[in-house]
Amino acid sequence: MKLRPTLALALLASLASPLFAEDVKPLRVLIVAGGCCHDYANQKEILKKGLEARLNVKVEMAYDATKGTKPVFEIYKKADWHKDFDVVVHDECAADITDAAYVENILKAHREGVPAVNLHCAMHSYRWGKFQQPVKAGDDNAHWYEMLGLQSTGHGPQLPIAIKFTDKEHPVTKGLADWTTTNEELYNNVQVLTGKSLATGTQSSPRRRTRPARSSPPRRPPTSSPGPTSTAPRRPASSRPPSGTTTRPWRTNATSTSSPAPSCGPSTSSTPKASRPPATAPRSKRPALPSPDPGAPGFFVGGRSEPSSAFAFRAFFRCLRSMEIIIMGCGTSQGVPLVAHDNPGLDLRNRRNWRTRTSVHVVIEGHHVQVDAAPEFRLQCLKNDIRDVGTFILTHGHADHILGMDDLRQFCTNQGGAAIPVFTTPIGKRRIEAIFPYAIGAPAASGYVALDVDLMPSELVLPGGGIVRSTILPHGNESTLGLVFEEPSTGARFAYYTDCKEVTPEALALGADVDLAVIDGLRPNFHPTHLSIDEACAAAVALRAKRALITHMTYQIDYETYTAKLRRTFPTVRLCYDGKRIRLGR
């Protein structure tokens, strides 16, 4: 973590300035540090050393070395915990502490006049309920945001922030000049409450560089012709609300955002196993379908275009034990291209711009898991030669993810009519039961579907030993399952975070350092229920994923155009395309 204590020092200096008269006692500062995601052991020492070197202060620390989103600080349990301090620096990441009485005791100190300086993760600690939506003043889950003066639940990508001080005469900001940071994260404000804005921060995506003209290679007869200069329009500046320093009526409170993205982890529960009765009917044997024709758009099955030797090697490597991820579809809820629409800017000659609705197939420890069933599910299975579905996971109950489930029928027939285990959210379960009441429970006759529907646990052990861990991601008025697959035999880890507005701190912790992350990235500009391209890239960086792919894309994202942009700005991030296969662990 790159800790920049400049602003914190300025804030404390403004509080300490009246005390620099001769023989005045030092300002008593408490630093509260701990929680998940950051190196708080070093942070607290950096802050202590920096403050004591610059100000007339005496620093004490309350530190919890436990990693996670529920750090409990013993000092907060005392009713008069603040009596020996003149100012408190909150540097804790406590996203999942939801004890209202515990939080109220913290806030009581600030209501009684003890100033607070809040750093990074303290912006979104002590949250519960529908904290992604604007809280109501006076509600239990609003008090921490009321102390901050604003409500914020996330931040954008790591890019330079142009900081402009809007009130340069305030004691907190007096003497500070406007400046631009290095790559940092700008918080997105859900709402400004009673805080007074002292500074604003703006980010702009980097301008695409112009390549110099190049000469084409010599042709016969030898000639040389200059190629065109390649330029692209600058990506639009972020439309996020400004973020920066705020003050509150409870004497002085300030917020600084200057460290990497938080990643707070979820709690775990029991570990059920996905059961699947053995197949009683033999699988039909037929020749494997040929791989898709690269020149054919959409999801049509075309002739094999690769050399027979390459096809043989591909078949051979499939036999090796490793996790395999198949992108069945990566388009938005309407698919791409749109019907009855000109789809401007989209090169329809490129088959990678033809996107069916989003879903993924994962082979883990030899067990086949299907995540979501798009309306094109049958055609996706034919294109990708899917012969088995042992477990089905529905991330959420929207039409573009659920309506293909009836086409699971042949997989039921292949295992003798036994019901396929299905795991989903509570809303997803109700929608499955409403749309497919004939499929619930009982074994199916040949040619029909049977589903054994249950709620997705925090940890699911699959036949063969593969593990799927889950968390909840916000998606408008509904929640989506965020999934992390782990293959014990190879150590491979894969995160699948589709259809979400935020990769929450819990999801960041759950998917930290994965080999591959597939993340929702609907379009270039802001959307209220989906991540944008920039937000998806920021999530990939925060996850520290070795590789990342963007899925659930609209027609506004042309494959070649955005691949070129990502290659320059986020080297580990690329776009999905239908039929893409990735192998992990070998």
Domains of the chain from N-terminus onward: 6-205+239-256 (3.40.50.880), 319-584 (3.60.15.10)
Q: What is the pLDDT of residue 253?
A: 41
Q: What is the pLDDT of residue 237?
A: 41
Contacts of 188 (CB under 8 A, 6+ apart): 152, 153, 154, 155, 156, 240, 241, 243
pLDDT of 241-287, one tens digit each? 344 433 333 333 444 433 333 334 333 334 454 544 444 344 344 34
Amino acid at 568: R
Total H helices, total E strands in the chain: 12, 24
176 φ, ψ to 5°? -95, 135
Q: What is the pLDDT of residue 123?
A: 81
- Calpha distance 478→429 (Å, rounded): 13
Q: What is the pLDDT of residue 458?
A: 96
Structure tokens, 450: 């049977």
The answer to whether the bond into 337 is cis (omega within 30° of 0) is yes
Structure tokens, 296: 């054919």
- Calpha distance 97→297 (Å, rounded): 50
Of the candidates 51, 37, 49, 45, the one whose C-alpha atom is nearest the C-alpha of residue 7 is 51
Q: What is the pLDDT of residue 544?
A: 97
**Residues facing residue 89 across a β-bridge:** 31, 117
The helix or strand, by DSSP H or E, that contains position 455, with its residue range, turns out to be strand 451-455
Structure tokens, 566: 């990502």
Q: What is the pLDDT of residue 215?
A: 45
Mean confidence (pLDDT) of the chain: 79
141 vs 135, 146, 147, 294, CA distance in Å?
Answer: 7, 9, 11, 53
Contacts of 160 (CB under 8 A, 6+ apart): 180, 181, 182, 183, 184, 203
Query: Does the CA dihedral 20-26-28-31 come out positive or negative?
Result: positive
Where does residue 392 fall: left (phi above 0), alpha (psi -120 to 50 degrees), or beta otherwise?
beta
434 φ, ψ to 5°? -80, -40
**Residues facing residue 455 across a β-bridge:** 424
Question: Using an 8 Å Cβ cutoff, are 523 and 532 in contact?
Answer: yes
Structure tokens, 245: 């320093």
User: Which string of DSSP letters, residue by residue, matches 286-338?
Assistant: -PPPPPPPTTS-TT------S-HHHHHHHHHHHTS--EEEEEEE-B-TT-BSP
Tell me the longest C-alpha to C-alpha distance in the chain: 92
pLDDT of 294-318, one tens digit each? 333 332 222 233 333 333 333 333 3
Q: What is the pLDDT of residue 224?
A: 41
13 φ, ψ to 5°? -60, -40
CA geometry: angle 75, 78, 80, nearest 5 deg: 105
Q: What is the pLDDT of residue 100?
A: 86
Question: Using an 8 Å Cβ cutoff, are 390 and 413 in contact?
Answer: no
Which residues of the chain have a pLDDT value below 50?
A: 1-10, 17-22, 207-271, 273, 275-320
Q: What is the pLDDT of residue 298?
A: 32
Q: Mark 487-499 as b/e (b = at least 16 C-beta within 10 Å).
A: beebebbbbbbbb
Structure tokens, 98: 């939801």
- Calpha distance 322→496 (Å, rounded): 17
- Calpha distance 480→497 (Å, rounded): 8
Cβ of 79: how many Cβ atoms within 10 Å?
Answer: 9
Question: Using an 8 Å Cβ cutoff, are 550 and 521 in contact?
Answer: yes
